[in-house]
Structure formats: C-alpha cells, structure tokens
Structure 1
Amino acid sequence: MHAHDFEIHDARFRALLLPDAPLEKLYGDCLWAEGPVYFPAGDYLVWSDIPNSRMLRWVPGMGVGTFRANSNFSNGNTRDRDGRLVTCEHRTRRVTRTAHDGTITVLASAYHGKRLNSPNDVVIKSDDTIWFTDPDYGILSDREGGIAESEIGRCNVYRISPHNGEVTLVADDFVKPNGLAFSPDESRLYIADSAASHIEGAPHHIRVFDVVDGKLRNGRVFVEIAQGVPDGMRIDEHGNVWTSAHDGVHCYTPDGELLGKILTPEVVANLTFGGALRNRLFITANTSLYSLSVAVRRFDSS
C-alpha cells in the first residue's frame, strides 16, 4: 500500500493493512455513490447512484453495468440470509426486498399509518429482523428523491419483524440517523448521526447502543467524526468499526480508539467488505467506486 493512502494513528492499524495493496478506482461516473453490497454467490458488487436514480453492478474482469435503471433514488442496500437484496428507496419512501427472480416486495413504507421519510441505510440481524434508519434527506430536495413534508415529524430508527412485518420504533432521539451496523456478537448496534451535513452545530458522531431483547438500551456517543460526518459503516471480524468520513475511511477499535485512516481523493459515503476472501474493502466516494484489499474481513461476509 502506498504511504499517501493511509494515516497510522496506532501501530495496531498496520496489522489490518496489506502493505503492497493499492487503492484502486473501479468506476468514476456517478453523481453520489452509496449503498454498496457484495453478493458472494455471484462474486459481484451492487451499489446506488442516488441522483441518477440507478443501481450499478461491478463484476471482476467484466467491469460496470446497470443493475437497475430506475431505482426510485435508492440509497442503502444489504442482503438477507437467503442472499436477497434489501434496499432503501428515497422516492417511494420505503424498504424493499428483491427476490432472486426479480420480484420486489415492500417490507416497510409507513409507521402507524404515516409515510416514512426516506429510508437511508439498512442491516439485518441473525434473527432476520431488519433494522433501518429514516432521516429526511430524500424529501429535502428533488435531487435525492422528492420534496415533501415529513408525515412522522421526526427522523427515527426502526425494526421490521420477519414474522408479521410489523414496523417497531427503536430510537427516536436522533437528528438525522444514517449508517448502522451490529457488532460481531450483535450485542451492540452502532448508528451514525450525520445531521451536521445540513445543520450547523448539529451532531456528527456515531452512537452505540446495547441490544437487549430487540430493544436499544444505554445509548452513548461512541466517537465524534472531526472531518465531515459519519455515513455508512461496517464492522470487521475483530469488532473494529470502519466508518466513512470526509477524508476517507476511519477505523476505530470497539473501545473507540482511532487506529488509522484510509485516505481517499473524494468524500466517502459508504463501504463494505467483499471479494472471494471477504477482505476487499469496497468504498463508495462521491462520484466513484474504489477498492482496497486489507488484512481483515467483515465478520459475517455480507
């Protein structure tokens, strides 16, 4: 790896890097790249280009093509335990699941009869519950969805039951909740608040909660992001938190110590681990998709 591609803040960060691995630019024709998700069964990556209302797919050796031409201004994506795509859509203000045959099912579009704002990011727990954030970015302008008033009046975090589809409120004290990720043992849930992107003096931190019987307890600030705001994040097999920031990807220990940074030419929105060995870090940053092989894997391969 090239020295200019990273900052070492703690010697332990070196053990997570591959010294000769370069930061590669895989694609560069997006307006705002987001929501990367890797599919090991097909060895390909899907991600969102929000303002272009499309989803793209990168396949090793074949390059980039269109995955979905009209994505309803999709943002965050993940895959469930059956390998199906789960997507947050801004324009339709819903969370959907795409079956292997292409059939799309709406998982959530309202809470207590009121339309969601614009679901942003989504993760799935091992019990098949689906957790997602619902800030208002997609209804603030037509560029990322469609201008509208919030029917709920707040930006919350929700959980969807895999049994009856019930949408349950799990956190209502965020300004603009964004990326989220579980710790390897699922005892913790990390949630970014990126409100400083639009509101001066607003939060630009990641909070962490204890997960107890499907509820969030003991919320506290995990880290403040000094450069820009936190957006999407992923957790590696050791419990380290890899989060997006203005200057690249920041890596923190489970105790909140900054280990180091992967520096990127553009503002990072999101990231995920993938590749045959699960150690290839895919980074969506402003107009581009980057990748970097590292010496650690995401804990659950998704």
Structure 2
Amino acid sequence: MTSTSGREPVPEVLDPRGAALLPAGAVLEHLGSGSTWAEGPVWLPAERAVVFSDIPGDRVLRWDESSGAGGGLTVHRDGVEFTNGRTLDHRGRVVACSHGRRAIERTEADGTTHVLVDRFGDKRFNSPNDVVVASDGAVWFTDPPYGISVEVEGHEGSREYGDNFVFRLDPATGELRVVVTDVEEPNGLAFSPDESLLYVADTSAAPTPGNGTHRLIRVYDVLTGVRGGRGPQAVPSGPVVKNGRVFVEVDRGLADGFRVDTGGNVWTSNGDAVTVFAPDGTRLLEVVVGEVVANVCFGGADGTDLFVAASTSLYRLRTTAVGADLKWR
C-alpha cells in the first residue's frame, strides 16, 4: 500500500484498463468511524447521504455529504433488529435485510417500516443478508445463516427450510420463488448492467478436496420471457437462472458484498481491500483499506463515488465509474 500523506491509501492499478476507472490523484478518503461492523451501505440521493448497518450495534449509521470527509457519523436509527444489506426500490424507498426479523423489510416515505416477506412457505427464512431490486421491481435476496448462528448478528435459531437459497420476490403479486440453490452460503449479489447475469458470493469458505479453501463469486445466466409447459415440466413465469459457474476467486479474504458498474466491472470486498474485476475476470485494480471490508455502494452527485463500509469506518473513493444499479433511480 502506498500513500500520499502517510494515511490515504492509493489504489494500485493491476491492468491498464483499471487506470481508466480512476481520476488523477484518487485516494481512499476516511469519512468517519464509530461502527462495530459496518455493512450494507446505500446512497440516498434525495438526502445526499449514505446510511449503513452497524450489525452488532443493532443500529443504522449515517454520513451526510454536507459534513465532508472526516466529518463523522451519526446514528440514523437504532433498535433495528440487526439489519444488514439494503438498496433502494424504484420509488426511492429503502429495502433492507433484517437478521433479527428474518425478513425483507421496506421503509416508506413517512419513515414507517414493515415486512415485505419473512417466510418460504410455512418456514421462516434464515437471516436475509443482501438484496438488490431489478429493473422490473422484483426484489432478489440471499439467505445464509449468519444471523441465527453468529451471536452478535441476530438471534440464535435454526435453518427451518434446511438450506441457504437465493430468492426472488415480486412485491406487486407477493410471488416468492427460489432462484439459486447451488451456493453453499450465498451472501452478496448484483446484476450485470443489462441484467443478463447474476453474480452471487459464496462466503462459506468451505474446503474443496484437493483445492484448499475457496472464496468465490459465482455467475449465472438470467433468462427472461420464459413461459410454458404443463405438469412437472412446467417452467414458472419470470426470469430463470441457470448455468452457474465460478466467476472469480478472491485471495485476501471474502467477497462479502459488491457492486457492478455500467461497464460490467465488479467492485468487491476482498479481505482488507476492495478489488475490481473486469467482466472477463481480470483483476483491474485494488485498494488496501486497512480494515476488513464488508460491502460497497456507488453514489454521490453523479454516481461515481464508491462508498466502502469496512469494520469501524466508512470510506469514499472517487472513481470515473457509475454504479449499474443507479441507472433507473
């Protein structure tokens, strides 16, 4: 890690394509500290602020652009039942994962929060972890067991449906479907810019015989407009996810949370760093943060600021990329 002032980490360009993703002189700025385990950031464009989870602290913290770099964090909400990942829907409402409620919840414009879904059939979810909203308004989310197995991240419980799936909820109809079943512990997720690909992290770090420990981001084809069939061969309406394969392995830690830019590049947590991968899996650049990174999001006035939630702190990296999930907001 190099530094211009002894403090600000400077991104390391690993491939010539990575240089185009940064403005001249880009460094990682420290915006504020005070979190126990920072997770699930989202940019609120109407308020020009970032809110994110402090999961063990059972609260949501906030950084306002008006406070500037190093201006500190404030408590946005507390007693939130251990929220984790969050995003915005098409109306600018926050959709969040609740470990404590084992649910996906939405906060309305008046500040009230209610559960969108908390069960798969008659079984409760494990602990929804990360969430994205597709261009058709559907809510896609991962459901690993961390909120029921890690004491400080929720409440002790059991995996009632016996597995860890990725789900798709249509809020308009209430239809809930399983879309991915072959990830051991699905965590972060994001779509490619055209939503033809779905990326899902596996943070189980499960040993693979003969290959050591794998910490993966997997990628799937998303097929739309699929209909038809009868009986046991019928295909459900809506997108079909198939052809899962390994996109990349990370080497510093876990690919916990990530975002995709409009060029299709994946900006992911990777242990104590943020690493950027091209759509072909090539490492483009990396910035060592100095704390374990949980998740990132794009925001700022033109969508090119990358906000990094890392352990105790929130950071910002100026980029030339734009978050793909901002395109319809």
Equivalence for 1:237: 262
**Letter aligned with residue 108 of structure 1:** V
Q: 1:284 to 1:189 in 2, by over 3 A?
A: same
Distance (whole Å) between structure 1 residues aligned to residue 19 and residue 207 of structure 2: 36
Name the residue aligned to 1:55: 60
The reply on whether 1:287 has 2:298 as its aligned counterpart is no
Which residue of 93, 107, 122 corresponds with 1:113?
122
Whether 1:211 and 2:236 are equivalent positions in the alignment is no
From the superposition, tell whether residues 108 and 272 of structure 1 become closer, same or farther in structure 2 (CA, over 3 Å). Answer: same
Q: Secondary structure at the match of 2:140?
A: strand
Give the aligned partner of residue 234 of structure 2.
none
Equivalent of 2:204, from 157, 171, 195?
195
Q: Is structure 2 residue 290 aligned with structure 1 residue 265?
A: yes
What corresponds to 2:105 in structure 1? 96
Aligned pair partner of 1:131 in 133, 136, 140: 140
- Structure 2 distance, partners of 1:181, 1:203, is 20
C-alpha distance in 1 between matches for 2:74 and 2:30: 15
- Report deviation, 1:299: 2.2
Q: Which runs of 5+ in 1 are unaligned?
A: none
Take 1:231 and 1:295, find their aligned partners in 2: how far apart are those partners?
23
CA RMSD of aligned residues (A): 1.6
Q: Is the 8 A contact 1:195 1:202 kept in 2?
A: no
Match for residue 9 of structure 1? 14
Provide the rounded CA distance (Å) in 1 between the counterparts of 2:161 and 2:281: 33
Structure 2 CA distance for aligned equivalents of residues 55 and 253 of structure 1: 32
Q: Residue 247 of structure 1 corresponds to which residue in structure 2?
A: 272
Residue in structure 2 matching 1:38, options 21, 43, 47: 43
Q: Distance in 2 between matches of 1:27 and 1:282?
A: 12
Q: Which residue of 1 aligns with 2:193?
A: 184
Normalized against structure 2, the TM-score is what?
0.88
| Contact 2:132–2:141 under 8 Å retained in 1 | yes
Q: TM-score normalised to the size of structure 1? A: 0.96
Preserved CA contact (<8 Å) 2:293 2:311: yes
* Aligned amino acid, residue 238 of structure 1: G
Residue pair 1:175, 1:203 contacting (<8 A) in 2 also: no
Amino acid at match of 1:116: F
Seq. identity, %: 47
Query: What one-letter code is carried by the residue in structure 1 that aligns with 2:215?
Result: H
The range that moved more, 15-24 or 167-176, is 15-24
Q: Which residue of structure 2 lines up, in the alignment, with residue 278 of structure 1?
A: 303
> Are the counterparts in 2 of residues 191 and 207 from structure 1 also a CA contact under 8 Å?
yes
Q: Which runs of no fewer than 5 residues in structure 2 stay unpaired?
A: 225-238
- Determine the C-alpha separation between the residues in 2 that align with 1:300 and 1:178: 17
- One-letter code of the match for 1:270? N
Looking at structure 2, the residues matched to 75 and 283 of structure 1 have their Cα atoms a distance apart, in angstroms, of 14
Quote the offset at 1:2 in angstroms. Answer: 4.4
One-letter amino acid of the structure 2 residue matched with residue 170 of structure 1: V
More displaced 10-residue stretch of structure 1: 39-48 or 292-301: 292-301
Cα displacement (A) at 1:199? 6.8
Deviation at 1:183?
0.5
The aligned residue for residue 180 of structure 2 is: 171
**For residues 300 and 278 of structure 1, do their structure 2 counterparts lie closer, same or farther at Cα, with a shift above 3 Å needed?**
same
Is the Cα–Cα contact under 8 Å of residues 11 and 26 in structure 2 kept in the other structure?
no
The code of the aligned residue for 1:279 comes to T
What displacement does 1:19 show?
2.4
Query: Cα gap change, 1:141/1:2 in structure 2, threshold over 3 Å: closer, same or farther?
Result: closer
**Paired residues of 2:116 and 2:171 also in contact (CA < 8 A):** no
* Structure 1 segment 217-228 matched on structure 2, within 5 A: 217-228=242-253
1:22 maps onto 2:24 in alignment: no
**Conservation of the 8 A alpha-carbon contact between 2:207 and 2:213:** yes
Which segment is superposed worse, 245-254 or 199-208? 199-208
Paired positions, count: 301
Give 1 or 2 for the bigger CA radius of gyration. 2
Alignment partners' CA distance in 1, 2:103 and 2:16: 43
